[in-house]
Amino acid sequence: LHLGCAWVFILLLPGLSDGGKLLVVPMDGSHWLSMRKVVEKLTERGHEVVVVIPEVSWQMQRTQGYTVKTYPVSYTLEELNNAFYEYVATHLKNLPFPMNALALYKTSVHVFRTFFIQCKNLFSSKETLQYLNQSSFDAVLTDPIFMCGATLANYFSLPFVFFMRGFPCNLHYEAPQCPSPLSYTPRLFTFNSDHMTFFQRVENALVALLELVYCNGFYEDAIKFSSEVLQRDVSLIDLLHSASIWLLRFDFVFEYVRPVMPNMVFIGGINCAEMKPLSK
């Protein structure tokens, strides 16, 4: 693990290597717009980059500089759009509690399952898997929100780097085994600050207990499929904890103070690569 982490770190630094071979497994939409800038920079610095994408997608068009490998999928662009429209529409509904939470959970599970079809289609494409296996990649760079990149990296026994904003249910801190002091680290959706009353801390602890439960619902298909592909029982933590480096697209100073691991690198602002001067 330490050797893999060191190799990946050297691969991502400018001027310290002759160029490695990197497999990129991105996420569609705005996630890819941020990652694309990094991929282009890696290519400019002499690395050979292959981006594997589904034939049906929103934003992932071919560009010069890196190789794009596509694979067939079993859904249409209309089905992809409908799943996302339903997800957005549910967030805009003004439902009372707990109906709002249940509706959001249901539509989130649907979106996660729809997008994970991409991963099943990828592993169903023998031609794509053969190409990836014969390409002798040094590492994998992936946005892990739908788990496919992590599953693929584990399948090929490659070191992998996460490029992400964050997971639901605190997984981006849970998987690297960061200490998570519930007394001053508020959980998502509690709307608490880091200065909590006793009852708010109790609420915080209860939400923390529920996080992995509802996250297992989000990733039920991913866990089941990954177990089949890897031929062993896996959990969410199993898929994520061996990541060599976590590149987190937010700024540490804008988050509540908390301990983090040495392989977690905060790169907030990288999604603002195309900066424009402020208007007068």
Query: Is 280 among the domain residues?
Result: no
Query: Is 60 among the domain residues?
Result: yes
Tokens at 199, concatenated: 């009852």
Residue type, 191: F
Vertex 216, ends 215 and 222: CA angle to 5°? Answer: 110
More confident residue, 71 or 271: 71
Looking up residue 266, the CATH number of its domain turns out to be 3.40.50.2000
Query: Which range scores top for mean pLDDT: 107-111, 158-162, 171-175, 202-206?
Result: 158-162
Q: How many structural domains are present in the chain?
A: 1
Query: Is 218 among the domain residues?
Result: yes
Q: Range of 76's domain?
A: 2-270
**Mean pLDDT across the stretch 251-279?**
80
Residues 36-54 have pLDDT tens digits of 888 988 998 889 999 999 9
Query: Is 184 among the domain residues?
Result: yes
C-beta of residue 237 within 8 angstroms of C-beta of residue 215: no
**Mean pLDDT across the stretch 17-26?**
85
Q: Looking at the predicted structure, is the pLDDT value of residue 7 above 60?
A: no
Q: Give the confidence band of 104 by pLDDT, cuts at 50, 70, 90.
A: confident
Distance CA 241, CA 171 (A): 10
Distance CA 228, CA 145 (A): 20
Query: Is 278 among the domain residues?
Result: no
pTM of the shown model: 0.85
Query: Is 159 among the domain residues?
Result: yes
Query: Residue 173, class by beta-carbon neighbours within 10 Å (0-12 exposed, 13-18 middle, 19+ buried)?
Result: buried
Q: How far is CA 145 from CA 31, 33, 162, in A?
A: 9, 15, 9
Query: Is 134 among the domain residues?
Result: yes
**Mean pLDDT across the stretch 203-207?**
83
For residue 190, give the DSSP letter.
Answer: S
Query: Is 279 among the domain residues?
Result: no
